[in-house]
Amino acid sequence: MSCLLQVRGLVKIFGALVATNDLHLQVMPGEVHALIGPNGAGKSTLVAQLAGELAPDSGSILFEGLDITNLPVPERVARGIVRSFQITSIFPQFSALTNVSLAVQARAGHSFKFWRDASTDPTLREPAQALLDQVGLGVRGNVPAGELAYGEQRQLEIAMALATKPHLLLLDEPLAGMGREEARVIVDLLRRLRGGPTILLIEHDMDVVFSIADRITVLVYGTAIATDRPDAIRANAEVQQAYLGGEMDHA
Amino acid sequence: MGILLFLEQLLNGLQLGTMLFLMASGLTLVFGIMNFVNLAHGSLYMMGAYFAATLFQLTGSLLLASAGAFVGVLILGMALEAIILRGFYHRDHLDQVLATFGLILFFNELVRMIWGPQAYFLALPEMLNGSIELIPGAPYPVYRLLIILIGVAVGAFLYMLITHSRLGMLIRAGASNRGMIESLGVNIRILFTLVFGLGAALAGLAGTLAGPLLAVQVGMGDGVLITTLVVIVIGGIGSVRGAFLAALLVGLVDTFGRMLLPASLAEMSIYILMAAILWRRPQGLFPAHG
Amino acid sequence: MVRNRILGTLLAIALLALPPVAQALGEPFYIGIASRMLVFALAAMSLDLILGYGGMVCFGHAAFIGIGAYVVGILGHHAAEETLLLGFIPGTSSGWITWPLAMLCAGIFAFLVGAVSIRTQGLYFIMITLAFAQMAYFFFVTLKGYGGDDGLRLPQRSQFSDLISLRDKTTFYYVALGVLTAVYLLLLRVTRSRFGMVLRGAKENERRMLHIGVPTYRYRLAAFTIAGALAGLAGALMANQANFVSPAMMHWTRSGELIVMVILGGVGSLLGPAIGAVAFLSLEEVLSAYTEHWQIALGPLLLAVIYFARRGIYGALVTRRVL
C-alpha cells in the first residue's frame, strides 16, 4: 500500500533551536496516526509545516505522491490537507451554520459569485446542516459561534474541517483545555470518523491516544524516533527511555 | 552632473533626511511602545514652528525661541497624552487614526484663529545666515549644515538613550513585551507620558528648525506628516534604527528625484520607493514586532 | 425587522419628496446641498464595502473619487477645445462614455494600489493607501495642462439625452438618487453573496479563511477594485455636481472625512455610511453657519464620537440579524 503522506528529511531551524530535525514520517491511507512526544518535541511546528504555514528549511513533503512542500495553505486544503487549531479558530460573529457553510462554499469552487444570497442557498446550507448533525451540533446552528460552549466550538471546528472534504485531517490537540465530559464527546466523534479521512492526531492524553490510534509516532527533539502500533510503542525500549517512562504513568 | 552639484544635492538630501528623522523618531517610538498611531504628530511640528515664531518676535533670539518652543511642545505633548490620547491606547488603530485626525482639524483651526491665515517667516541671525566652503569652490549654507548636525546629534542621543539607559531598557522591553514593563513595577503611565512628550518635543524641534527654511503657516504639518509616515513604514514601524536609515533614504531619493526626474514623477518618487520596498518586505526594512 | 422596514419606507418617501418640498418652501438651495450629500453617500457606501465588510481601512479613498472626476473633467476639456488627449484620444462630454470610463480608470488604479497594499496588514495598510493617494494628488497638482493646483472647470455637464440635463438641480438630484439606490441594491446583494461572505469571513478571521481553502488575497483585491470603481462613479457625479474638478477632491483629509462618515454612520451596514455622510455634511453646514472656525468644534466632536459611540448612528437605530 502506498502512503498518503510522506515526509522526507524535514528540517526547520529557529535561530539556535532545531525544531524539526531530519524528520521522516509516513502516514497510510485510512489510519488514525498519533503523534506524541514531550513538550517542545516539535509537534506543532511539524503540523504547521504540513499545513503550509511554515516553510521548512530543507526536506520535502509528498502528499498522494505529489510534492507539496512549497504549496500555499489554501492550495493544500484544496488537495485535501486540513488542520484544526490548538486554540479554537472560528468566525465568532457568524452563526454556527454559517461557519460550516462558509467551509462548504470554499470546497465548492471559487467564490466569485456576486448575486445569489449565500445565506439561503440550499447547496451550501443543506450540507452544512448535515455536517452539524454529524458532529452533534444539529440544534445549535443558529447560535453565534462565539456564544457556543468551548467544547461545542471544537466540534464546530471539526465540522468545518470535514466540510472541506479532507483526505488528511491534522488535529492539533483537539482535547486541550476540555473537561472530561466535553472530551468524551470529541473522542466519540473521532471514533465515528473512522473510515472517513485519514487522521494525524497530536494529543497529550495518552489514554485517548493508545485507545484510538492505529499507529503512533514518537517525536523527540524534532526527530521521529519510532513509529509503530500502540502495543509495540509501549514495549519499545528506546521510547521508554526517551519519553514514556515518566509521563506515561502520569497520564 | 558635476561633482560639486552632486555634493550639494547630497548634503541637501541629508538635511531633509535628518529633518524627517526628527519627526519619524518620535512617531515610531510612540508606536513601538504604546502601539499608538498619532496622526497629530504633524500638528505638534506646526505648533513648534508657531511657538518659535512668536517667541522670536518677542525676544529676537533664535536660541531662546528654539528652546522655548521645545519646552512648549514637550508640555503640550505630555498634556495631550495625559488628558486625551491615553484613553485610546487600547482601541484599534482605526480609532486612533480617526481620533488624532480630529486633533489635526482642531489644531489647524486653532492656529488659524490665534495666528491668522497669513504665513510667518523666521529670519536667521547673521551668524547662521552665511555659507561656508566645506570643499573649496562649493559654498554651503551654514544653517542647513547645522540642521544635519542637530539631526545626527539627536540620532546619537536616542541611540545612547535606548541602548545605555534605564529608560532605554524599559523602552526596548516595552517594544518587545508590553506586559513585562508592568511586571517590573515601573509606573507605566509616567513612562508613556514621558516618551510621548519626548517624541512631541522632537517634532516641535523639527518644526522650529523648518521655520527659517519654509513658511510658518496653517497646515504646514500635514505634508510633512505624510512623508514621515512613509519613512516609518519603510523603516519598519516601531524601529528607531529603521526610521533613521529610512529618513536618510527618503531624503536622498526625494532630493535627487527632484533634480533628475520630471516634476510629476519627482513628486511621486518616495511613494514609488515605498511601494517597491513594501512589495518585497511588507513589514518594512526593520520590523520591530514579530 | 418591522421597525427596519418602517424606517426604510420613511427614508424613501423623504428622499423622493425633497425637491418638490424644497421648491414649495422657496428654498431650492437645499436641493443642491442634498445632491452633494447623495454623492458623498455613494462614496461612503463604496468605502464601506472594503472598510466595513472587508476590514480594510483604506485611507486613500478620495484618490479614486478624484480620478473618476478627472476622467470626466479631462475628456470634457478636450471635447470643448477640440484637441486630442495624448495625441490620439478624442474628448467627449457624453456621460455614456465618460462615466463608465471614470469607473474603469478608478478601478484600474484601485487594482494597482490594492495589489501592493493588500499584501500588508493593519497600520501598514492604512499608511500605504494614504501614500498612494498622495501620489495621485501630487500627480494632478503637477498636471499644469489641466489647471494643476487650481483645478479645471467643466466646459459642460455630462450629456445623456436631450431629456436629461444635469444642469437642472432637480434632475441632477434624481439622477444622483437613482445611482445611489442602484449601487445600494447592488452592494446589498454583493455583500450577501458568496463573494460577500468570503470578504466578511476574511475580516473576521483571515487565518481560518485560508485554512478552509480560500485564497483571501484575490477576493480582497476584487473588492478593493469594485470599491475603487464605485468611488470613481461618485467622482464623476461630484465633478458634475460642482461643475469643477481639482486636486483638493483627493486631498488626504478628504479620505479621512470619508472614513469618519462611515464610522459615524455605522460600519458594515451600507445604509449607515450613507446616513453618516448626510450627518457629517449637515453638521458642517450647521456649524459653518455659526462660525467660520467650525472645524474647531468638529475635531473634538469627532474625538467624542469615536470614544463614546462606536456603533454609529445606524447601529443605534436598527437591530442587526446574525448571519
CB contact under 8 A, C260 and B109: no
**Does residue C195 sit at the A interface (CB-CB below 8 Å)?**
yes
Q: Which chains touch C (3 or more CB pairs under 8 A)?
A: A, B
CB contact under 8 A, A118 and C190: no
Among B98, B112, B232, the residue with its CB nearest the CB of C260 is B98
User: A35: which strand partners?
Assistant: A202, A217
pLDDT recorded at residue C35: 95
What average pLDDT does this structure show over C297-313?
A: 83
Among B98, B264, B271, the residue with its CB nearest the CB of C131 is B271
Tens digits of residue pLDDT in C93-131: 898 999 999 999 999 999 999 998 998 888 889 988 998
Look at residue A189 and tell me if it is in a domain.
no
- Domain of residue A149 covers 81-165
Please enumerate residues of A whose Cβ is less than 8 A from a Cβ of C: 51, 72-75, 77-78, 82-83, 85, 89-95, 98, 102-103, 105-107, 111-119, 121, 124, 142, 144, 160-161, 163-164
Percent of chain B with pLDDT over 70: 93
Please report, for chain B, the start and end positions of each structural domain, with discontinuous segments joined by +: 3-280
For residue A96, give the C-alpha cell.
Answer: 454556527
Whether C contacts B, i.e. 3 or more CB pairs less than 8 A apart, is: yes
On whether ipTM exceeds 0.95, the answer is no
Nearest CA in chain A to C222: A112
Distance CA A31, CA A35 (A): 13
For residue B46, give the C-alpha cell.
Answer: 506646526
- Order of strands across the sheet with A5-14? A17-27, A5-14, A58-63, A66-67
| Mean of pLDDT over chain C | 91
Look at residue A193 and tell me if it is in a domain.
no
One domain for residues A67 and A106: no
Distance CA B115, CA B138 (A): 39
CATH classification at residue A43: 3.40.50.300
Single out the residue of C129, C116, C124, C119 nearest to residue C47, CA to CA. Answer: C129
Closest-CA distance, B206 to chain C, in angstroms, reads 21
For residue B190, count other CB atoms closer than 10 A to its CB.
11
Distance CA A80, CA A14 (A): 28
DSSP B289: -
Cβ-based contacts of B232 with chain C (< 8 Å): 127
Among C195, C210, C215, the residue with its CB nearest the CB of A113 is C195
Tens digits of residue pLDDT in C21-65: 999 998 888 999 999 999 999 999 999 999 999 999 999 999 999
Low-confidence residues of chain A, pLDDT below 70?
Answer: 1, 243-251
Distance CA B33, CA B172 (A): 8
pLDDT recorded at residue C319: 67
Nearest CA in chain C to A147: C322
Look at residue A186 and tell me if it is in a domain.
no
What average pLDDT does this structure show over B146-156?
A: 91
pLDDT recorded at residue C241: 93
Which of C186, C194, C321 to substitute to test the interface with A, most A CBs within 10 Å? C194
For residue A160, count other CB atoms closer than 10 A to its CB.
29
pLDDT recorded at residue B181: 61
For residue C320, give the C-alpha cell.
Answer: 442587526
Closest-CA distance, A89 to chain C, in angstroms, reads 6
Percent of chain B with pLDDT over 90: 43
Cβ-based contacts of C212 with chain A (< 8 Å): 77, 82, 102-103, 106-107, 160-161, 163-164
Cβ-based contacts of C114 with chain B (< 8 Å): none
Whether B contacts A, i.e. 3 or more CB pairs less than 8 A apart, is: no
pLDDT recorded at residue A64: 93
Look at residue A89 and tell me if it is in a domain.
yes
Asked if A236 contacts A220 with a C-beta cutoff of 8 angstroms, the reply is: no
Number of domains in chain A: 2
One domain for residues A175 and A248: yes
pLDDT recorded at residue B178: 59
User: C109: which strand partners?
Assistant: none
DSSP C158: P
CB contact under 8 A, C201 and A164: no
One domain for residues A96 and A36: no
Among C198, C204, C215, the residue with its CB nearest the CB of A93 is C204
Q: Which chains touch B (3 or more CB pairs under 8 A)?
A: C
Cβ-based contacts of C215 with chain A (< 8 Å): 72, 74-75
Task: Give the rounded distance of the alpha carbon of A114 from its chain centre.
Answer: 32
Burial class (CB in 10 A: 0-12, 13-18, 19+), A173: buried
Which of C127, C130, C252, C260 to substitute to test the interface with B, most B CBs within 10 Å? C127
Which of B43, B101, B226, B237 to substitute to test the interface with C, most C CBs within 10 Å? B101
CA triplet A229, A234, A235: central angle to 5 degrees? 100
Closest-CA distance, C167 to chain A, in angstroms, reads 35
Closest-CA distance, C216 to chain A, in angstroms, reads 9
**Does residue C315 sit at the A interface (CB-CB below 8 Å)?**
no
Single out the residue of A192, A218, A187 nearest to residue A205, CA to CA. Answer: A187
CA triplet B184, B186, B191: central angle to 5 degrees? 135
Task: Give the rounded distance of the alpha carbon of B91 from its chain centre.
Answer: 24
For residue C44, give the C-alpha cell.
Answer: 461612503
One domain for residues A152 and A217: no
Look at residue A119 and tell me if it is in a domain.
yes
pLDDT recorded at residue B290: 36
pLDDT recorded at residue C72: 96
Cβ-based contacts of C130 with chain B (< 8 Å): 226, 229
One domain for residues A70 and A24: yes
pLDDT recorded at residue B1: 60
The CATH fold assigned to B3-280 is ABC transporter involved in vitamin B12 uptake, BtuC (1.10.3470)
Which of C212, C218, C221, C230 to substitute to test the interface with A, most A CBs within 10 Å? C212
One domain for residues A144 and A102: yes
pLDDT at position C148 over 50? yes
Nearest CA in chain C to B281: C120
Cβ-based contacts of B278 with chain C (< 8 Å): 116-117, 119-120, 124, 128
Look at residue A188 and tell me if it is in a domain.
no
Least confident of B174-183, B198-207, C4-13, C119-128: B174-183
One domain for residues A107 and A228: no
pLDDT at position B138 over 90? no
CB contact under 8 A, C204 and A114: no
One domain for residues A173 and A62: yes
Percent of chain C with pLDDT over 70: 99
Asked if B269 contacts B261 with a C-beta cutoff of 8 angstroms, the reply is: yes
**Does residue B234 sit at the C interface (CB-CB below 8 Å)?**
no
Among A82, A105, A111, the residue with its CB nearest the CB of C211 is A82
Task: Give the rounded distance of the alpha carbon of B203 from its chain centre.
Answer: 5
Among C132, C138, C299, the residue with its CB nearest the CB of B106 is C299
Cβ-based contacts of A77 with chain C (< 8 Å): 210-213
pLDDT at position C156 over 80? yes
Closest-CA distance, A241 to chain C, in angstroms, reads 37
One domain for residues A247 and A209: yes
Among C128, C295, C306, the residue with its CB nearest the CB of B278 is C128
Look at residue A121 and tell me if it is in a domain.
yes
Least confident of B155-159, B174-178, C192-196: B174-178
Asked if B261 contacts B29 with a C-beta cutoff of 8 angstroms, the reply is: no
A136 phi and psi angles, rounded to 5 deg: 90, 25
**3-state helix/strand/coil string of B85-113:** HHHHCCCCHHHHHHHHHHHHHHHHHHHHH
**Does residue C212 sit at the A interface (CB-CB below 8 Å)?**
yes
Distance CA B55, CA C100 (A): 55
Among C57, C119, C139, the residue with its CB nearest the CB of B94 is C57
C292 phi and psi angles, rounded to 5 deg: -70, -20
**Does residue C275 sit at the A interface (CB-CB below 8 Å)?**
no
For residue A136, count other CB atoms closer than 10 A to its CB.
18
Confidence of residue B140 (pLDDT cuts 50, 70, 90): confident
Cβ-based contacts of B115 with chain C (< 8 Å): none
Distances (CA, A) of A30 to A46, A168, A230, B82, C238: 20, 9, 16, 62, 62
Residue that is written with C-alpha cell 493607501 in the block = C129
Tens digits of residue pLDDT in B30-57: 887 788 889 999 999 999 999 999 999 8
Nearest CA in chain C to A98: C323
Look at residue A120 and tell me if it is in a domain.
yes
Among C123, C142, C252, the residue with its CB nearest the CB of B237 is C123
Distance CA C207, CA C192 (A): 21
Asked if B171 contacts B33 with a C-beta cutoff of 8 angstroms, the reply is: yes
CB contact under 8 A, A82 and C213: yes
pLDDT recorded at residue C184: 96
Single out the residue of B26, B18, B214 nearest to residue B122, CA to CA. Answer: B214
pLDDT recorded at residue B288: 66
Distance CA C106, CA C224 (A): 11
